[in-house]
């Protein structure tokens, strides 16, 4: 048997090696995503590893994690800063204020410990409402009042 025949036989024999899986595990994807983010922060942007064919559009590890539900897509609420939100602040309606006070999403200010709402509202030009709760350490923005009250009790209250 010649060398070329031996190589040909190995190529034709499917049992010699199993081809690697095209889709890496979610853990591997997260490692790649974190490494790419770290490289981006340092200014050393590396070419992302592509396991897709050249004909298909390139997918990053982040795209795959979003599609599989491992992480969520950034929303318009994540991109807003506290300064921008303060510029478009509007007062809570009487009904909303009542709900906040009823659910005890409040700060205790003043010498007598008067309660003030810990949730406030902002409205942009298109009419979208944002409900915000914050401390000096953290801020959370939610599209609904119920969500803002819930995140106040779950997270914001602990950062005070």
* Spatial separation of the C-alpha atoms in residues 96 and 129, rounded to whole Å: 13
pLDDT tens sequence across 31-73 = 877 887 777 666 655 555 444 444 445 566 666 666 666 655 5
Contact yes or no for 91/123 (Cβ under 8 A): no
Q: Are 52 and 59 in contact (CB under 8 A)?
A: yes
What's this model's pTM, rounded to 2 decimal places? Answer: 0.53
Distance of alpha carbon 146 from alpha carbon 134, whole angstroms: 15
Long-range CB pairs of 65-70 (<8 Å, 24+ gap) are 65/26, 65/29, 65/30, 65/33, 68/26, 70/26, 70/29, 70/30
């Amino acid at each position: 048997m010649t060398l070329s025949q031996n190589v040909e036989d190995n190529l034709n024999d499917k049992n010699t090696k199993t081809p690697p899986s095209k889709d890496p595990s979610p853990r591997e994807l997260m490692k790649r995503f974190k490494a790419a983010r770290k490289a981006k922060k340092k200014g050393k942007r590396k070419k992302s590893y592509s396991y897709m064919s050249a004909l298909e559009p390139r997918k990053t590890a982040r795209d795959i994690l979003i599609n599989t539900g491992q992480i969520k897509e950034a929303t318009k609420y994540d991109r807003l800063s506290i300064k921008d939100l303060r510029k478009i602040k509007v007062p809570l309606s009487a009904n909303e204020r009542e709900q906040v006070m009823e659910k005890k999403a409040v700060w205790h200010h003043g010498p007598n410990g008067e309660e003030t709402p810990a949730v406030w509202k902002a409205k942009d030009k298109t009419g979208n409402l944002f409900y915000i709760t914050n401390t000096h350490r953290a801020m959370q923005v939610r599209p609904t009042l119920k969500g803002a009250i819930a995140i106040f009790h779950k997270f914001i209250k602990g950062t005070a």
